Amino acid sequence: MTESSFQHAPAHSRPAGEPLRMMAVHAHPDDESSKGAATMARYVSEGIEVMVVTCTGGEAGSILNPAMDRPEVLENMTEIRREEMARAAKILGVHHRWLGFVDSGLPEGDPPPPLPSGCFAVTPLAESVAALVAEIREFRPQVLVTYDENGGYPHPDHIRCHEVSMAAFEEAADPDKHPEAGEPWQVLKVYYSHGFSKAKMTKFHEALLANNLESPYGEWLAKWDPDRADVLERVTTQVRCADQFEVRDEALKAHATQIDPTSRWFAVPLHLQQELWPTEEYELAKSLVDSTLPEDDLFAGIRDKV
C-alpha cells in the first residue's frame, strides 16, 4: 500500500492538531494480525494513524496451513510472505515498514543449535536499534506497542524485538544519538501486548462445551503449569475492540501460509468472542504522561495533550 510522507518534529514538540499515531513493532509477518490487530483496526476507524514495523521477513517460517503446503509455495516463501503482509496491512488499514533483518528461525534440539550468522537475533543491537529509531523519528508515534522481556514466548526474534524496541524508545528522543536519522522524537507511552491468558482460555473452553461445541483448549488447560502466572496479573489496559474482530480474522487469513482457517484460531464463534471477551490486553511499560490504571485506551493521558 502507499505509505505517507511524514515531516519531522523536535523531540518534545506536539504542534496543535498533531495527529494521534501508534506504532506496533513485531518480529515476523503475521504477528501483527495475531497480536493486537483488532485494537489497530479500531484506532484506524477512529482516524488514528497506525504503523506496523516488521523486523524480519519471516524467511525461516514453515508452511503451517496444509492447503498451502505445495512445492511452488515453499520455493517462493520470501516473496509470498511479503505479499501476505501487504494484504494484511491493507485489510487493517495500517501503514507498514520492513526493518529489513533476516528471520532467525526457532532453534530446536537439546542443546539447541547456534543461530544462523547474520540473522536478526545475532545482529549487533546498535544496528537494529538505529534502524528502528529512524522509523520512529519519521512516523512520530505517541504510542509504541511491542513484546515483553520474554518476547510473549521465547522465540529469539521476539526477545530481540523487545530489546530493540525498548532501546529505540530511549534513543529516538536523545538528540545526541543517531543524528543521521532525523530530528529526535519522544514516544510518550510504551505497551507490551499480551495474548491468551488462562482465564480467557477457560472462559472460551467452558462456553464451547456449554453450547455443545468441540473445544480445542481442554488438553492445553490440562497441561497448564499451576505455578505459571496468568498474564492478566500484568495487564493494565484492556481495549474494547469487538467490532473489529472480523477485520482481525480477515487479516489473519491473509497470511495463508501461516494460518489454517480450520485451526483453533477460529474455534470460538465470533458472537461468543464478542460477548465473552470483547477486549485486547496490554501492559503499560513506560509512560511520560499521567493516566489512571486500569485503562481502556492506549492513548489515555495523551488525547488531551495532542
Residues that constitute the known binding site for Zn(2+): 28, 31, 158
- Pairing between β-strand 237-240 and β-strand 279-287 as defined by DSSP bridges: antiparallel
C-alpha cell at 108: 530446536
CA 190-15-92 angle, 5° bins: 50
